[in-house]
């Protein structure tokens, strides 16, 4: 939010007739790179590597990263490199830039849930999709999109 808070001048109960500007939002949403529990994940993606936490106790590999194992509550975790391979578990082609123009230059784009070969599922984008052929069960491999200021997002590309 920018500037000092302002009352809602459009509320008919307090001051009818005015029409303040709409919501402002700049840039695509970014994850919190300073979160200690997830920082190693983003440090790895910045190197174009995909790593997920693995519980030293029960062996569970899980997503999203957090500071304890959701399987057994153990806090001794290691970062395990993923192969980058997976399958499309489901997907949607987004045709509308919702809320504001943040995604206006991207539509249509594909959001997918990818099941990694190591088991966990994560949400991402399918880059350069062939919409005539894209299907649940398609094999994909990881790729990375740099978003600047130290952020790279893991994304996926269909492999034949």
Of 79 and 89, the one with the shorter C-beta distance to another protein is 89
Stretch that binds another protein, among 28-36, 51-59, 75-83 (CB under 8 A): 28-36
Q: Are 44 and 144 in contact (CB under 8 A)?
A: no
d(CA 62, CA 69): 8
156 binds another protein, rule: CB under 8 A: no
Of 29-37, 49-57, 78-86, the segment contacting another protein by CB under 8 A is 29-37
Strands 151-158 and 85-94 come out as unpaired
- Computed on alpha carbons and rounded to an integer, the radius of gyration of the chain in Å comes to 20
Which residue in the set 4, 16, 132, 159 belongs to the binding site for another protein (CB under 8 A)? 16
- Determine if 64 is a binding residue for another protein (CB under 8 A): yes
Tally of CB atoms within 10 A around 93: 14
21 lines the binding site for another protein (CB under 8 A): yes
CB of 106 to another protein, least distance (A): 6
> Which residues neighbour 33 within 8 Å (Cβ) at sequence distance 6 or greater?
39, 42, 150, 151
Q: Minimum distance from CB of 23 to another protein (Å)?
A: 5
- Residues 6 or more apart whose Cβ sits within 8 Å of residue 80: 51, 52, 53, 54, 61, 118
Q: Does 91 bind another protein (CB under 8 A)?
A: yes
Q: Is 13 in the site for another protein (CB under 8 A)?
A: yes
* Residues between 114 and 153 with contacts to another protein, criterion CB under 8 A: 121-125, 135-137, 147, 153
């Amino acid at each position: 939010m920018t500037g000092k808070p302002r009352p809602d001048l459009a509320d008919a109960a307090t001051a009818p007739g005015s029409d303040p500007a709409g919501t402002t939002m700049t840039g695509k949403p970014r994850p919190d790179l300073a979160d200690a529990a997830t920082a190693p994940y983003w440090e790895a993606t910045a190197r174009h590597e995909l790593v997920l936490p693995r519980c030293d106790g029960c062996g569970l590999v899980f997503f999203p990263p957090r500071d304890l194992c959701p399987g057994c509550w153990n806090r001794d975790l290691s970062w395990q490199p993923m192969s980058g391979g997976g399958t499309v578990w489901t997907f949607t082609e987004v045709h509308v830039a919702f809320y504001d123009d943040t995604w206006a230059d991207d539509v249509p784009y594909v959001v997918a849930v990818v099941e990694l070969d190591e088991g966990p599922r994560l949400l991402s984008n399918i880059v350069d999709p062939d919409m005539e052929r894209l299907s649940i069960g398609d094999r994909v491999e990881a790729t990375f999109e740099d978003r600047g200021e130290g952020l790279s997002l893991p994304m996926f590309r269909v492999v034949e």
